[in-house]
Amino acid sequence: MHVGTFAAPKQDVVVIANFANMQRIGYEIGFPSAGEWYVHFNSDDTRYGGDYDGFGSARVTAAGRHYRIRLLNE
């Protein structure tokens, strides 16, 4: 994971890349802050030949981390 402030001051950008030869389902990643996050590119999207067609969200408890996301594949 790479975290940077490239967009504008106080707007974090998080890049997540999976270089493994398998999907990571239910994998949790700590995030720098709470807030609304947007997906700008997902190579698994049907537009790029993948089979994933949407995103959902839900609040999850933070086991020792203040903010996190859980990668899902449903």
Taking a C-beta distance cutoff of 8 angstroms, is the pair 32, 14 a contact? yes
What is the residue-level pLDDT of the chain in tens, covering all 74 positions? 555 555 566 677 778 888 888 877 777 877 777 777 777 888 777 887 877 666 666 665 555 666 777 776 54
Contacts of residue 64, defined as CB under 8 A and 6 or more positions apart, other chains included, come to none
pTM for this structure?
Answer: 0.57
Per domain, the residue ranges of the chain are: 18-74
Q: Among residues 27, 25, 5, which one has the least CA distance to residue 15?
A: 5
